[in-house]
Amino acid sequence: MPDILISSPAGILTVLAAVASLFFFLEKKTAWKGFNYLPPLIFIYLLPVLLSNTGIIPTKAPVYDFMGANLLPMFLTIMLLEVNILATIRVMGKGIFVMLMGTLGVVIGAPIALLIVKAGLGPEAWKGFAALAGSWIGGTGNMLSMAQAFELDESSMNYGYAVIADNAVYLIWLPIMLGSKSFAAKFNKFTKMDADRVTKMEEAAKELTTDKGQVEMRHFLYLVMLGFGVTALSTWLAGMIDPITTNTGQVIFSTSSYKILIVTFLAIGLSFTKASTIPASHAFSMAIVYLFVARMGAKADLSNISGEVVWFVGGAFIWIFIHGLFLVGAAKLFKVDVHTAAIASAANIGGAASAPIVAAYHKPSLVPVSILMALLGYAIGNPMAYITGLLCQWVM
C-alpha cells in the first residue's frame, strides 16, 4: 500500500463530500437515464473503495470511527422527525407482512446458499454469512453487531467478503427493485391486487407530508441540535444497559443494537412534537446518508481478497434469489402492489439508506413509509440475524 495522500480528518471529509456531490451533480446536469438503474448511491460507495485502496485516502482513520458512531443515529433521528406513526401504519397495511416474509427468506436462504457453496469456503465463512444477514435484515449497525456477536474481526477476510457480496448483490438487486416499476401493471395483475389499493395508499400517505414553510438558517441549527442530542443521549443510555450474552459469552444483543433502538424510540417520540414541523429535515438527513455511504466504501479493504470471494458472492446471489421468491410469494399471498413489494425488499436488503431511494422512485409519497419499514428491520435485525448465524454454523 503506497503512502496515504490525504489523511487529515478535514481532507478525508472533503473527499467523501466531493464524491457524493459529484454524482448528484452529474445526475442533475446530464439527466442520464442510466442513473435510473444505477443510482448515484452505487457510485458514491464504489469510488471511495477505489480511492482508499489506491492510497488516496486511508481505509482506517479516527474520522471514520466518529462518523460511524454519530452520523448513522443522527440521520435516523432527523429522518424520523416527520413520520406520522398512525398514518404510516394505515399506509403500510399488508406491506409489513410482505417485508417480514422477505426477512424469513433471508433467514432460510442463508443456510441453503451456504450449503451449496461451502466446499469453496473456509471453516469460518458462516460468520461472514451471519454478518451479511445482519445487513440484509436490518442494516450496517446490525452487520457490525453480528460481527461482534460471532467474534468476527472487521479486518478479517470473511468480513471483507460479506461487504463485497453485500455490494455486489446490491449492484444487481437495486436496479431490479427500481426497474420493477416498469412492470407494475403485470405484477399487480399477477398478485390480483385490489384495484384501488395504490389509490388508498396515496390518499393515506398524504397525511404523512405537510407544507412546513420556508427553510431558514435556524432550522438547520435545530436539526443539528436534535440529531446530536438524541445521539448523545442514546449512547449514554445504551452504555448503561448490559449486553445480552449466551453462556459461552457470545453477544446476542449488543450496546450498538440498544443504541439504534433507543434512537428510534426517541426520534419517534419527537415526531409527536413540534419538531416534526421543522423544514428541510428529509433533505438534510439524506445528505448525511450519502456521506455515510461514502465512508462505508472508504473503509472497504480489498488487500486480503482471495479466490474464496467468488464462492462467497455466488452464495450471496443464490441467497438473494431465495429472498426474492419469498417476497414474490408474499406479494401474491397478501395481494399487494409492486411498489409495496419493492420498498419492502429495499427495507431489508438496503436498509435506511436505500429504502427511501426505491420509494422515491416508485411513489415519492411513500418515502416516510419506507423509513419506518427500514427501522423495523433494524429492530428485528439482530435476533433474526443471530438465528441465521446459528443455522449457518450448523450447516458448515
Q: Predicted confidence band at 36 (pLDDT cuts at 50, 70, 90)?
A: low
Neighbours of 24 (CB within 10 A): 17
CA angle 203, 178, 89 (to 5 degrees): 35
- Dihedral (CA of 303, 309, 313, 316) sign: negative
Is residue 214 in some structural domain? Answer: no
Is residue 223 in some structural domain? Answer: no
Is residue 185 in some structural domain? Answer: yes
Neighbours of 117 (CB within 10 A): 21
What is the 3-state composition of the chain as percent helix, strand, coil, each rounded to the nearest 5?
Answer: 80, 0, 20
Which comes out higher in pLDDT, residue 89 or 5? 5
Section 245-262 average pLDDT: 66
Contact 290, 357 (CB under 8 A): no
Section 258-270 average pLDDT: 79
Per residue in 180-239, pLDDT tens? 887 888 888 898 887 777 777 766 666 665 567 788 899 999 999 999 999 999 889 988
Rounded to a whole number of angstroms, the CA Rg of the chain reads 20
Q: Which three cell numbers stand for residue 253?
A: 444483543
Is residue 221 in some structural domain? Answer: no
pLDDT for the residue numbered 121: 81
Burial class (CB in 10 A: 0-12, 13-18, 19+), 370: buried
Is residue 226 in some structural domain? Answer: no
CA separation for the pair 26, 28 (Å, rounded) = 5
Enclosing domain of residue 165:
9-208+235-395
Section 110-127 average pLDDT: 88
CATH number of domain containing 158: 1.20.1530
Contact 88, 369 (CB under 8 A): yes
Is residue 351 in some structural domain? Answer: yes
Residue 117 main-chain phi, psi, to 5 deg: -110, 0
Contacts of 330 (CB under 8 A, 6+ apart): 97, 98, 101, 102, 336, 341, 344
Domain count, the chain: 1
Is residue 224 in some structural domain? Answer: no
Mean pLDDT of the chain: 81
Is residue 81 in some structural domain? Answer: yes
pLDDT for the residue numbered 152: 77
What is the value of pTM for the model shown?
A: 0.68
